[in-house]
Chains A and B, each alone.
Chain A
Amino acid sequence: MSSILVYAELSEGKLASTSLELMAKARELGDVYAVALGAGAKAAAATLGKHGAKAVHVSEDAAFDDYIAEPATDAVAALTEKEKPDAILFGFTPDSREVAGRLAARLGTGLISNASDLVAEGGGFVARVPYFGGAKVASMKANGKPAIVLIRPKSFEASETGGTAEVKDLGVAVSDSSKRAHIVERVAEASEKVKLEDARVVVSGGRGLGGPQNFPMLEDLADALGGAVGASRAVVDAGWVPYSMQVGQTGKSVRPGVYIAVGISGAMQHTVGMKTSKVIIAINKDAEAPIMKMADLGVVGDALKIVPALTAAVKKKKNG
C-alpha cells in the first residue's frame, strides 16, 4: 500500500476546502496521513480524520501563520525525511504552491504542478495535467521519490468516511533563519456574502457588460438566487472588479450547480476554471461565441436587457 501525505492548508485557523478534496483522492491511492500547520491545526486534524486521514501531524506554532513558505517547508521536509511518503499532495493554491516549490527544490525531486487528476499506475503515479488553457490533457508519470503533485481546486468532491485520525505532535521548532517573509498585516477588501468557491450558483460577468456600472445587475441576480458573483480576467484587468472575483486559469476554480456566464466569450483560460459546473447557462449577443458551444443553455441576446428581466422573474417565482 502506498503512503500518501496530504498537505492540509490552513488560513487564519481555517482548513481549506481544497484539502478535503485532496483527501477524497488520496484515499483511493493508499494510506493517507496529513500535516497541518498553524492556528487551528488540531481542530483540522479531527476534520481530516473524518475524511480518511489515519494520522495528522500537527503544530500550532504561530510562525506558520506569520511567515511565508519557509517554516512550512522546513516542517514538511523534516516529516518527509522521517516518514518517507510515496507521494505528497498539495492543492494548486497560492499558499500551498509556495511550499511545494521550495520543498521540491530542497529535496531535489521536482514535482508535477497544476494537475487535474492523479492515478496509481504500474507501482507509481500518473498525473493528468491540462494545458493550452485546458484544450489538451497530458498524462505525466511522476519520477520523483516522493512524487510531489499539485492538484487544482475543485478537481474532486470532498466526502466524509467517518474516521478518527491519530494526532501526532510534529515536534519541530521553527528556526529563526526561516522567519523572513513576514506577514505584517492582512487587509480584507471583499466582504463576500457567499464565498465564490463554495456558491451553488455563480453569476459571472465579462466585458460584454459594457462597464463596471452594470455589475450591480449581476449582484441583484446572484442575491435573488443565493449565489455569488464572478468575473472574467478581462474585466478584472480593466479594474471593474477586484481580482478576488476572477474565475479561470489564473483565478479561482468553481464548480457550482449552475454557472451563468454573462457577456463572457468563453476563452479557454476562463472555462478551465468553470467547466466542471453542473449546469452552464450563457447569455451572449454573439451566437458564435465559444461559450455557446459548451453551455447547456445559450441565450443569444443583450445581457443588459435579459439580466434585469431574469432577476425579476426569479424574485417573482420565489415569492409566488
Chain B
Amino acid sequence: MKIVVTVKQVPDPNATHTLEGDNTLSREKEAVLDPGDECGVEEGLQLKEAHGGEVVLVSMGPERAKDAIRKGLSMGADRAILITDAALAGADALLTARALAAAIKGESPDLVICATESYDGSTGMVPPMLAELLGVPQLTFAKKVEIDGSTVKIHRQTADGYQIIEAPTPALVTVTAAIAEPRYASLKGIMAARSKEIKQVGFADLGVDKGEPAETIEGVVDAEARKAGEVIEDDGTAVDKIVQVLTTAKVL
C-alpha cells in the first residue's frame, strides 16, 4: 500500500509570532513540523506497519521546510517530495492544493493523509480541495482508520459522538490529534533520515495553472479586546458576588 502524508512546516506553536510589512507571517522564527501533521505521519507509519508498503511525505514550502520533512523521515517515513518555488510564496489554499495534487498524482497513492487543519493557516480547506482535485472521496475528522483490502473505514468525530464511514481506495483521510500519539524519532531513525531522498520540484515542473488568489488582504488590525472587569480575591464573599452577577444577567 502506498500512503502519501502531506506535511507542512509551521511557526513553532510555543513561540510568539510577528507579522511582516506585507501582512504575511514572519517565517524567521523557529519552525517545526505541524503538530497535526505529526499525527498524520504516525498514522501513516502504523498503517504501513500493519499492511506493508511505503510512506511518502509531500510538502510545499521554502527550502527550510526540509527540516520539518527530516523530522517525518526520522520518525520512519520512506522518502519525501518538497515543492518549493518563489512563485508559490503566499499561496492560498487552492493554489496549495493544486500544487500538492500535481505532485501526489505522480505517486498514485492508495491513501492520502492530511491533518484536519494546519496550525497556522487553520483554514482546513486544503484537504477537501485536494480530494476534489485528485478525484477521490474524502473521509474526514478521523480518530481511527482501518484498511480492509481496497476499503478504508474511519471513525469520524462529530459534535455528539462519531460516525463510521467507509469508502473505496484511493481516498483521502484527514486525522485529528486523537488518532495516535506521535512517536519520538530514535537516534537510529535520525541517522537513517539523513540519507533518505527529498526530491525537490519547482512550480514549472508541475504544470499547474496558478490562477487568481482567492483574496487580497486589505489590512490587519488588532482584534477588539474585551474590557477587563472586576477581579476579586476569594475572601469568603466571592460566591455572593458571583450570585449577584448571575442575577443581574438574569440567568438566576
Name A232-264 residues within 8 Å CB distance of B. Answer: 237, 243-244, 249-250, 252, 257-258
- Inter-subunit contact A243/B178 (CB<8 Å): yes
Q: Which chain B positions have C-beta within 8 A of A142?
A: 214-215
Alpha-carbon separation in the docked complex, A226 to B246 (Å): 12
Shortest distance from the beta carbon of B126 to any chain A beta carbon, whole Å: 8
Grouping DSSP codes into helix (H, G, I), strand (E, B) and loop, the B interface class, with mixed when no group exceeds half, is mixed
CB neighbours (8 Å) of A306 from chain B are 234, 238-239, 242
Complex interface: stretch among A49-57, A162-170, A185-193:
A185-193
| Residues on A with beta carbons closer than 8 Å to the beta carbon of B141 | 94
- The interface residues of chain B lying within 8 Å CB-to-CB of A257 are 249-251
Q: Which residue of A lies closest to B155 (CB)?
A: A187
CB interface residues, B 131-190, toward A, < 8 Å: 131-133, 137-141, 156-168, 171, 176-178
Given contacts A185-B163, A313-B243, A314-B243, are A225 and B252 in contact (CB under 8 A)? yes
Q: Residue on B with the closest CB to A186?
A: B163
Interface Cβ pair total, 8 Å cutoff: 258
Across the interface, name the chain A residue whose C-beta is closest to B218: A139
| B82-125 vs A, Cβ < 8 Å mask (1 yes, 0 no) | 00000000001111010000000000000000001100001111
Inter-subunit contact B125/A104 (CB<8 Å): yes
Check B232 against A104 for contact (C-beta < 8 Å): no
Quick check: which of B50-58, B72-80, B222-230 contacts chain A, the rest being far away?
A: B222-230
Q: List A215-237 residues whose CB lies under 8 Å from chain B.
A: 225-227, 237
| CB nearest neighbor in B for A275 | B226
B180 to chain A, nearest CB (A): 13
Q: State whether B246 touches A190 (Cβ < 8 A).
A: no
Q: Is A200 an interface residue (CB 8 A)?
A: yes
B residues contacting the other copy or chain, number (CB 8 A): 80
**A61 contact set on B, CB distance < 8 A:** none
CB contacts (< 8 Å) of B239 on chain A: these are 306, 309-310, 313
B interface residues (Cβ-Cβ under 8 A, vs A):
17, 19, 23, 92-95, 97, 116-117, 122-133, 137-141, 156-168, 171, 176-178, 211-226, 228-234, 238-243, 245-247, 249-252
B residues in contact with A106, CB < 8 Å: 132
Q: B139 to chain A: which residues have CB within 8 Å?
A: 68, 181
Which chain B residue lies CB-closest to A287? B231
